[in-house]
Structure 1
């Protein structure tokens, strides 16, 4: 089995034929798409797609910073639902009390400005005990949250 550089595979796919010199002194041979099977291998952590001669590769590896941002976005969504359930107006300012384990707390604290802005929280207080509503976030994470209208 031969492994060809991606440029050669692209030429074969595009032109339907590829001329190769195996180095045996008998000159080049021509391969056509009928003579070969093209297999691709996934690169861990990457999504790759090709169409019309354009290839796009995305690094989809989730680092701690991205995971923390995701948790913050989920918390904002859950707090917005709490606001709605409490009958608060969209412009009402709130006080937000939170309780979470240390890892979740660190992740959320890294995005506290975003959380404050999106939820209109004038203050965010961390409590030592669970109070309010238990909010389920991704990957089994949960936060206890309580909102109160501020004047």
Structure 2
């Protein structure tokens, strides 16, 4: 009864297991703090960081779940962006957007994409093309918000 389902569940389970194993390794090595210090030493202006940080998170999302990214790099990302002149509340609010939402749609981890494929019954190639468009637009909107071009009402 479940023999056919195991083949579709095992790759996703293995991906999640390896992603959290990498996350644990990064926590043990204190990678978030070290990479935060490394990037801060570059002295990049806010506009460069607004382009770089979401791209960095999208690339990390290919191997790390968004919750792991936020736990490992969240404090460093807020500190780096605040040091460059960004509103720390805005950046903290953007963390789930640039980590969790991007991770869910960037292959190969792309857990949300796989779920959507299963529900829609769509193929890998077509779904990946649509997801890449979504990720590109999501990235652009994230940059616009982080630069303060698109105002977010309610922030002090």
* More relative contact order, 1 or 2 (CA 8 Å, 6+ apart): 2
TM-score over 0.5 (shorter chain)? no
Q: TM-score per shorter chain, which class?
A: under 0.3
Q: Going by fraction, where is helix more abundant, 1 or 2?
A: 2
Q: Going by fraction, where is strand more abundant, 1 or 2?
A: 1
TM-score computed with the length of structure 2 as normaliser: 0.23
